[in-house]
Amino acid sequence: MTSSSFSDAVPNQNQSILIIVMCLIATWVDDPTGDAYKRHLARIPDYFWVAEDGMKMQSFGCQMWDAAFVIQAIISSNLAEEYGPTLKKSHDFVKSSQIRDNPLEISVKCTEHTSKGGWTFSMQDQGLQVSDCTAEGLKVALLYSQMSQELVGEKLESGCLYDAVNVILSLQSENGGFPAWEPRRAYSWVEKFNPIEFFEDALIERDYVECTSSAIQGLVLFKKLHPGHRIQEIQSCISRAVKYIHDRQNPDGSWHGCWGICYTYGTWFAVCGKTYYNSPTLRKACAFLLSKQLPDGGWGESYLSSVNILFCLIYEYTNLDGNRSNLVQTSWALISLMKAGQAKVDSTPVKRGIRLLINSQMEEGDFPQQEITGAFFGNCILNYSSYRNIFPIWALGEYRRTLRCA
């Protein structure tokens, strides 16, 4: 490790800042004037950022993940012409962030799954594909391909799109679901040997509703725009993935989300697959969301929804203290209801939520930072600082389009 580059020394998503510092020290011990140490040192600032409450140190970036959502939020607003330069720069980032070649280790040692054509959680030099990041990257690349090249730049080559599809198809599990990083290779009972008291499902890959939904959405759009590539395999993949999501719906109509808090997040992803429009599954999902709407028109779910599953084995939606609304979760719920067609059945609940978003915007256009809405491994939380602006914009954009079409 002492002579490795930064991307070689930090090979996966879940590295901690401790590992990064250890790699830095190792390269310094090996050669304090060497190129490897200098390359590590130059990347240290990437792990610092300033929030409202001071300096933070992050373990890994989420540049690609956030960019994909920002792009979709702006496009949903029908303001692409006004924000053309922003979209063009983000298009360049999306194209440059795609992994174009497999690492040498795959051909030499077969230690990792194919990554050519995938997108990572952060940027290309991270090197490890993620199923939902690849699907969201594919989706935004396809959205860009339908826009004026004068506005957003040259579209991604078809071969690169095909590579992304190949990665997605290669990751699907036998049950139709999608894991995050690589195919499932172990039985679930292996988790019984998990020595970590507070991390759930930390030893093996498992399937996620969120990853499965992203894969569905990316493949559905690809099939529409590129109907000649692996069409039978894509259709089979979509059908199996939809069945997986159907089978994972809870009796109350919700879905459990693993990478966000919790039932609001999982339900947003499941509904936004859109392949099962107007079904009993969607009607149950809408009923669940409407049952959780607060008097002010918003939604607010506590991290305890995730923690209670791990420690108390209670599968129960838990409101934030004082029944406060959270604008990100409110946006997830609103987008879900609009995608499911609820606004056409009864627009009142949606209008109440939209009014809360509008009234919560601050003078400079920003939305306030509230409770953290990201989660992982059962009881750990992730701070996505951009979510507070991305999802209210996205919800408002969807409402504007839905209202025009109504």
d(CA 21, CA 23): 5
Which among 30, 35, 132, 207 is annotated as catalytic? 132
DSSP-derived letter for residue 48 is E
Of the candidates 268, 257, 290, the one whose C-alpha atom is nearest the C-alpha of residue 335 is 268
Residue in the block written with tokens 């499932």: 184
Q: Is 76 left (phi over 0), alpha (psi -120 to 50) or beta?
A: alpha
Q: Is 366 part of the annotated catalytic residue set? A: no
DSSP-derived letter for residue 157 is P
Burial of 401 (0-12, 13-18, 19+ CB in 10 A): middle
DSSP letters of 280-340?
HHHHHHHHHHHHT--TTS---B-THHHHHHHHT------BPGGG---HHHHHHHHHHHHHT
- Distances in whole angstroms, Cα of residue 114 to Cα of each of 17, 144, 380, 402: 26, 25, 29, 40
Residue in the block written with tokens 């989300």: 257
d(CA 126, CA 107): 18
128: tokens are: 């490890």
Q: How many other CB atoms sit within 10 Å of the CB of residue 179?
A: 22
d(CA 263, CA 284): 13
Of the candidates 82, 211, 194, 90, the one whose C-alpha atom is nearest the C-alpha of residue 140 is 90
**Active site (catalytic) residues:** 132
